[in-house]
Amino acid sequence: MADNYLHLDVVGHAGKETVPPEMDSLIFLTERGQAQRLGASPALLARMEKAFFGDSPQTFSVSGHRCTAMVVAPDKELETLRLAGASAYRLIRKHRMHALRIKGLHVLEKKERYAILEGMILSSYSFDKYKTEKDKDTVIAHLPARLFSQADLQELKILTEAISLTKTLVNEPPNAMNAEQFAREVQAAGKRFGFDTEILKKSEIEVLGMGGLLAVNRGSTVSPTFSVMQYRPAGAINEKPIVLVGKGVMFDTGGYSVKVGGNMISMKSDMAGGAAVLGTMTAIAGNRLPYYVVGLVPATDNKIAPDALVVDDVIRMMDGITVEVQNTDAEGRLILADALTYAKRFDPDLVIDMATLTGASAAITGPYGIAVLGNDQIQIDALKGIGEEVYERLLQLPLWKEFRELLKSSVADRSNLGGPIGGVSTSAVFLEHFTDYPWIHLDIAGAAFVKEAKGYRQKGATAVPVRLLYEFVKSRIKRR
């Protein structure tokens, strides 16, 4: 898929830069005297402008339009800096500028400088594939070459390409992105970014006995796929892989437990977990991180047809247990369960699954974070810390033994529905049975797809939790 982000052109510049001591705001200036700012008095703004630019401000001309830009960054919170970068990008678009020179970055630490740049790039994503009039403008960010290494910029470029891919896969309409097309995207990304792919088709899924995936697929005219991605570089520092598992329900009607009241709108995003697995694999392989990682995505529609799954059906899962279906809209856990069973063959060091799994999770976190549960508290805590830095924050919920009682069935080994209490926890407890390894579950239902644009996030897909998982893998490399 096309790179939907702005082009980066790194250029050096000469001249001394002085910054006033009153650095209590983030400020962007364009067209001398006009400001877009996050909290600054007019007097402070004037003093900063004079102290920074002097009596003859540094300006440059783009298509005859004279512009100056300044960044003053004091509080050093990375998310504030990302939002500042987003603000700068909005200025570019507002004033129809094709280039922007950012000054004042020398007062920031490396990770703070890149946070501003990250916010600008993430803001520039656009999904206009199906619009007649497309945005063809290219924006060039002129950056001090001494402050941004080519290697770091290349890493950021690959990461944002992976995020762009993730967003676009989720934003695609369901008549363009089904299970078979998703598998083709997996193969294309593997060839481009350097990881191995294997696509299991329906006959192979049947041989494996993936009863959950096959049951959900019964209502679809498109066969299911099971995508296996492996990135095992020669210099990998780990023998046992991290396995990433993503829910790939390409469109979710709810099945015969049909979604009502407008809740079916945006259900093309029910494969956001699967897209995030592919995006994370792309970022890790594209940047040649020395880490062994596996990605698994079971993919199907959940639709209605004469032979579709119905409530009261009993199905047999890949690991052999039987499940009474009490709600066909609790389908994500059925396909994830088979994938978690399949993950055992890799003897994983850690398995992380991600899914838009429950409305209960979205009700708790809203678009602001991710619900996390699991059996490896050390790794959960590590993820939490990284989540605060990349601002894909985690809220941990319990896996109390009492929740297991809610999944009991009188006719099968267990039910796929735990009732109205603790919906996030009961869904995770259901999944926990299929794990015999260190495991973390991320319910991204609230944050993966948003209704309103804000900051550097556009309306629609957000690519959560690609940045979180990429930095998590990098942190494990650093610790080694």
Task: Assign 412 to helix, strand or coil.
Answer: coil
Give the H/E segment covering residue 453: none
43, two tokens: 């007097």
Q: To 10 degrees, what angle do helices 466-479 and 272-286 make?
A: 40
* Contacts for 185-194: CB closer than 8 Å, 24+ residues apart: 185/1, 185/278, 186/227, 186/229, 186/278, 186/297, 189/165, 189/278, 189/281, 189/282, 190/229, 190/285, 193/158, 193/162, 193/281, 193/282, 193/285, 193/286, 194/231, 194/285, 194/286, 194/288
Please report the pLDDT score of residue 101 as a whole number: 59
CA dihedral 183, 184, 190, 192 (to 10 degrees): -160
Task: Assign 185 to helix, strand or coil.
Answer: helix
- Of 122, 148, 174, the residue at which a domain comes to its end is 148
Q: Is residue 193 part of a domain?
A: yes
Q: Is residue 1 part of a domain?
A: no
Q: Is residue 176 part of a domain?
A: yes
pTM attached to this predicted model: 0.88
Q: Is the domain of 141 the same as that of 199? A: no
Ranges of beta strands (E only) in 234-292 are 242-246, 248-252
Q: Is the domain of 333 the same as that of 363? A: yes
What's the burial of 451, exposed, middle or buried (CB within 10 Å: 0-12/13-18/19+)?
Answer: exposed
Whether 259 is catalytic is yes
Task: Assign 60 to helix, strand or coil.
Answer: strand
Q: Is the domain of 144 the same as that of 232? A: no
Q: Is the domain of 91 the same as that of 236? A: no
What's the burial of 404, exposed, middle or buried (CB within 10 Å: 0-12/13-18/19+)?
Answer: middle
Please report the pLDDT score of residue 104 as a whole number: 61
Q: Is residue 142 part of a domain?
A: yes
In which residue are the tokens 């600008």 written?
120
Please report the pLDDT score of residue 259 as a whole number: 97
In which residue are the tokens 């080994």 written?
413
Q: Is the domain of 116 the same as that of 161? A: no
First to last CA, the chain: 34
Q: Is the domain of 99 the same as that of 37? A: yes
How far is C-alpha 287 from the geometric centre of its chain's CA atoms?
17
Backbone angles phi, psi at 449, to 5 degrees: -150, 120
Compute the 3-state secondary structure of the chain and give helix, strand, coil in percent, each to the nearest 5: 40, 20, 40
User: What is the sign of the dihedral through the CA atoms of 136, 141, 145 and 147?
Assistant: negative
Q: Is the domain of 456 the same as that of 387? A: yes
Please report the pLDDT score of residue 112 as a whole number: 84
Q: Is the domain of 322 the same as that of 183? A: yes
CA dihedral 43, 48, 50, 51 (to 10 degrees): 130
Alpha helices in 220-331 (DSSP H): 272-286
Q: Residue 284: which CATH number? A: 3.40.630.10
| CA–CA gap between residue 118 and residue 123 (Å, rounded) | 8
Q: Is the domain of 188 the same as that of 143? A: no
123, two tokens: 């803001």
Q: Is residue 258 part of a domain?
A: yes
Q: 324 pairs with which residues across the strands?
A: 314, 415
Please report the pLDDT score of residue 84 as a whole number: 77
Tell me which residue range forms the domain holding 76. 7-148
Q: How many domains does the structure of the chain reveal?
A: 2
Tell me the pLDDT of the chain (480 aa) as tens digits: 434 443 333 332 323 333 333 333 344 444 344 444 444 456 655 655 555 445 544 443 333 344 444 544 445 688 888 887 887 777 667 666 655 656 566 667 888 888 888 998 899 899 999 999 877 666 666 666 677 888 998 999 999 999 999 999 999 999 999 999 999 999 999 999 999 999 999 999 999 999 999 999 999 999 999 999 999 999 999 999 999 999 999 999 999 999 998 999 999 999 999 999 999 999 999 999 999 999 999 999 999 999 999 999 999 999 999 999 999 999 999 999 999 999 999 999 999 999 999 999 999 999 999 999 999 999 999 999 999 999 999 999 999 999 999 999 999 999 999 988 999 999 999 999 999 999 999 999 999 999 999 999 999 999 999 999 999 999 999 998
Ranges of beta strands (E only) in 335-416 are 350-355, 369-374, 393-396, 414-415
Please report the pLDDT score of residue 464 as a whole number: 98
In which residue are the tokens 């507002």 written?
94
| CA–CA gap between residue 272 and residue 106 (Å, rounded) | 38
Q: Is residue 35 part of a domain?
A: yes
Is the preceding peptide bond at 144 cis, omega within 30 degrees of 0? no
Q: Is the domain of 33 the same as that of 181? A: no
Q: Provide the CB-side half-sphere exposure for 377 (13 A, CA).
A: 3
Catalytic residue among 37, 101, 303, 333: 333
Q: Is the domain of 164 the same as that of 307? A: yes
In which residue are the tokens 């009682």 written?
405
- Of 98, 113, 148, the residue at which a domain comes to its end is 148
Q: Mention every residue, 6+ apart, whose C-beta is less than 8 A from residue 167.
A: 4, 125, 127, 458, 460, 461, 462, 463
Q: Is residue 2 part of a domain?
A: no
* Selection from 360, 312, 307 nearest residue 332 by Cα: 360
Q: Residue 34: which CATH number? A: 3.40.220
Whether 333 is catalytic is yes
Q: Is the domain of 195 the same as that of 172? A: yes
Query: What are the distances in angstroms from CA 120 to CA 114, 141, 394, 445?
Result: 10, 9, 24, 25
Q: Is residue 180 part of a domain?
A: yes
393, two tokens: 């924050």
| CA–CA gap between residue 94 and residue 142 (Å, rounded) | 18
